[in-house]
Amino acid sequence: MDITDLRFLVAEDDDFQRRWLTIMLSNLGAKNIVEAADGLAALQVLQDKNTSIDISLIDLNMPGMDGIELIRHIAKENHPGSIILASALDRSLLFSVETMSKAYGVDLLGTIEKPATPEALTALLKSYHPRVDKHDATAKLPSFTFADIHRGLLNREFDPRFQPKVDLANGQVKGAEAFTCWNHPEFGAVSPSTFIPLLEEFGEMEAFAFQVIEKSIAACIDWHQHGHPIAVSINLSPTCLSNPEFADRIIDFIATQDIEPQYLIIEVTESSAITNLPYFLESLARLRMKGFGISVDDYGTGHSSLQQLLRIPFSELKIDRSFVAGASVNPALETVLSASLEVCRKLNKQSVAVGVETQQDWDFLRKLGCTYAQGYYIAKPMDGKTLPLWMDEWSQFF
């Protein structure tokens, strides 16, 4: 989105700092900037129905209502805009506030440490994407029933789209992750956040997962036939993997296909590592033993210890986007990101940085020695037939 179309709020009590942030925004092309000298004045601006703020730059240590309290009010009132923290406070404190903001559900683009620079501000603004109000997005959708879900499965309406995963060292495409949407005949594309809970509730998760596996493997075989021998990654829920018979179905299915197990990577979330269910671990151990890849997704967002994580026989660790975006200008994030990559190196595992959205992210991850990158800077998810064409074009740059 063009920065000239965005409305900014600068909440900063120091006159010089407030003016400097405003000048930087103006120099970058911003035309609509509102200033506030404290948290209460900023909240009043955000509550004004005639003023729609897209991005708020918030100082934390302000008199009266400070920035931390302001963020709580922003979350409570479900303000749709994004925020950027601007502060000179201790890095560990900033990291705590960042974690708090995300836990509140606020769209945090990142933190600028004072004195702010145009380069740091530009990097964070590039990661901005307008938020869609969840209530607006689902207002036209009905309450889907078991019959709706079952019919969708019978008609094979759940289709994966694939986002490429690229080797940071040489730019080669090494794999693609499947993201599935429901192509409903009446309501169009229905997001996973709507149908996944229903699949769990109605006991249809295994049927859904296997359909995604079938379609993804068919696409993967097609890529191989077009000269692109890459792997496909599919996220499976603990519900599926807690049934050893489901793992057997995957193994038996791949044995009938013209493809080796190594080209299917099973993704599980980090929180799954906390479970102590023997069936879950049995499924993963058998799949890994048969040559399938196992990837731990969203690493860093769960509450598992490294000891719990090591229960999973993983071959790949996917570092959550919250530790990737803005890490090049945020020393606290850089520390966490570097530590995660060091874990991968020490354990001889592949590392994947998710949410790579800028050239700065790409360059920084290369410098830190991350193995793979995935994100909008490289490509958005696309259908299986388009991916080989995209790979042909991408290869021309390396």
Q: Is the pLDDT of residue 92 over 90?
A: no
Model confidence at 91, pLDDT cuts 50, 70, 90, reads confident
Q: Is the pLDDT of residue 185 over 90?
A: yes
Predicted local confidence at residue 34, as pLDDT? 96
Residue 375, Ramachandran bin (φ over 0: left; ψ between -120 and 50: alpha; else beta)? left
User: What does the pLDDT average to over 3-20?
Assistant: 95
Model confidence at 132, pLDDT cuts 50, 70, 90, reads low
Higher pLDDT, 115 or 83: 83
Higher pLDDT, 185 or 305: 185
Q: Are 11 and 58 in contact (CB under 8 A)?
A: yes
Q: Are 391 and 384 in contact (CB under 8 A)?
A: no
Considering the chain, tell me which residue range(s) the CATH 3.40.50.2300 domain(s) occupy: 3-125
CATH architecture for residues 3-125: 3-Layer(aba) Sandwich (3.40)
Lookup: tokens for 37:
């000298």
Query: Could you give the angle at the alpha carbon of 72 between the alpha carbons of 67 and 74, nearest 5°?
Result: 90
Per residue, the 3-state secondary structure of the chain, as one string, reads: CCHHHCEEEEECCCHHHHHHHHHHHHHCCCCEEEEECCHHHHHHHHHCCCCCCCEEEECCCCCCCCHHHHHHHHHHCCCCCEEEEEECCCHHHHHHHHHHHHHHCCEEEEEEECCCCHHHHHHHHCCCCCCCCHHHHHCCCCCCCHHHHHHHHHCCCEEEEEEEEEECCCCCEEEEEEEEEEEECCCEEECHHHHHHHHHHCCCHHHHHHHHHHHHHHHHHHHHHCCCCCEEEEECCHHHHCCHHHHHHHHHHHHCCCCCHHHEEEEEEHHHHHCCCHHHHHHHHHHHHCCCEEEEEEECCCCCCHHHHCCCCCCEEEECHHHCCCHHHCHHHHHHHHHHHHHHHHHCCEEEEECCCCHHHHHHHHHHCCCEEECCCCCCCECCCHHHHHHHHHHCCC
Considering the chain, tell me which residue range(s) the CATH 3.20.20.450 domain(s) occupy: 137-395
The residues, any chain, with a CB within 8 Å of residue 197's CB and separated by 6 or more, are none
User: What does the pLDDT average to over 114-133?
Assistant: 83
Residue 195, Ramachandran bin (φ over 0: left; ψ between -120 and 50: alpha; else beta)? alpha
**C-alpha to C-alpha distances, 177 to 46, 60, 231, nearest whole angstrom:** 38, 38, 9
Q: Which CATH code of 3.30.70.100, 1.10.150.120, 3.50.90.10, 3.20.20.450 fits the domain covering 137-395?
A: 3.20.20.450
pTM of the model: 0.75
- Residues 383 and 14: their CA atoms lie apart, in Å, by 50
Predicted local confidence at residue 138, as pLDDT? 47
Q: Are 349 and 371 in contact (CB under 8 A)?
A: no
Q: Which residue is associated with the tokens 């033993």? A: 289
Predicted local confidence at residue 140, as pLDDT? 60
Predicted local confidence at residue 127, as pLDDT? 83
Q: Is the pLDDT of residue 300 over 70?
A: no
Model confidence at 261, pLDDT cuts 50, 70, 90, reads very high
Q: What is Dmax (Cα atoms) for the chain?
A: 69
Residue 16, Ramachandran bin (φ over 0: left; ψ between -120 and 50: alpha; else beta)? alpha
- Residues β-bridged to residue 166: 173, 373
Q: Is the previous residue joined to 331 through a cis bond, with omega within 30 degrees of 0?
A: no
Round the average pLDDT of the chain to a whole number and report it.
90
